Amino acid sequence: MKKIIHIYTQYYYPVANAASNRVEKYVKALKDDYDIKVITWIPNYPIWIKSSEYKWKIFKKEVWVLWEKIIRVYEFATKNEWLLGRIINFLSFMFSSFLYWLFTKKPDKIIVTSPPLFTAISVLLLHKIKRIPYVLEIRDLWPDSVVALWFIKNSLIYKLFSWIEKSLYKNAESIIWVTKWICRTIENKWFNLDKINLQYNISEEVKLSDLENPYSEFFDKIKWRKISLFAWNMNEAYDFDISSEYI
């Protein structure tokens, strides 16, 4: 019998972003050897309204044709600009997913991707209550990015989340980082970790080379040249002065 792995992410398809793309890679890599379930949100982005298919649902099970079993759990839909609404959104997803795990078959392992930090908190609680080991993927630094984005200066809030952050790292079976900068920052801030795995976001070159596009004739003409593409999601959480040195 295959071991059960739950992959836990607040963001997943039909929205295509960094989190959903990385989760899809995990599913593809593990599906042949493990029984995989994706625990994720009930879609509402970008209009922040749930479709009739999901309205008034707390949990909804989906089985996709190729490989995926998806459990969608309730979250309070709100726009990003409203700070209190975003916090309620994170908390609602955290509690509803935690509730699902309390009454379902215990998985052998959970892979959780963060941010938001609240998703990882529910997994930490499960680890303490049910002794479920977890692998923690860090795509951004919380609470540091929250301070940068929302200018939360209250030292008590920062200390609380920093303590949670440290607990998550110490209790994780393994930690996946997506950049060397995140690795260095955590090591400088907390401690040297011997369970770090660095895994970059990657492009699928085969798919890119097979794309049909209206500019193919243009690229054929300049194929002897070196072309660089700069694609970045830049906000207040990043140090643009440092980043600009690599552009």
In the block, which residue shows the tokens 């459990």?
71
pLDDT per residue as tens digits for the range 9-62:
988 888 777 788 888 888 888 988 999 999 998 887 766 677 777 777 888 888
Q: 143-147 — which CB contacts under 8 Å span 24+ positions?
A: 143/117, 144/185, 144/237, 145/115, 145/237
**Which residue has better confidence, 192 or 246?**
192
Q: Per-residue DSSP letters for 34-84?
A: EEEEEEEEPP-TTTT---TTTTT-SEEEEE-SSS-EEEEE------TT-HH
**Which residue has better confidence, 162 or 240?**
162
Query: Could you tell me the pTM of the whole model?
Result: 0.77
Residue in 13, 111, 1 with CA at minimum distance from that of residue 70: 13
The region of weakest confidence among 51-60, 188-197, 225-234, 236-245 is: 236-245
**Which residue has better confidence, 157 or 107?**
107
**Percent helix / strand / coil, the chain, rounded to 5:** 40, 15, 45
**Which residue has better confidence, 32 or 213?**
32
Residue 150 has pLDDT above 50, yes or no: yes
% of the chain beyond a pLDDT of 90: 23
pLDDT per residue as tens digits for the range 74-114:
988 887 667 788 888 889 999 999 999 988 889 999 999 98
Q: What is the mean pLDDT of residues 182-191?
A: 70
Give the whole-angstrom CA distance, residue 184 versus residue 198.
11
**Is the four-CA dihedral 10, 155, 180, 108 of positive or negative sign?**
negative
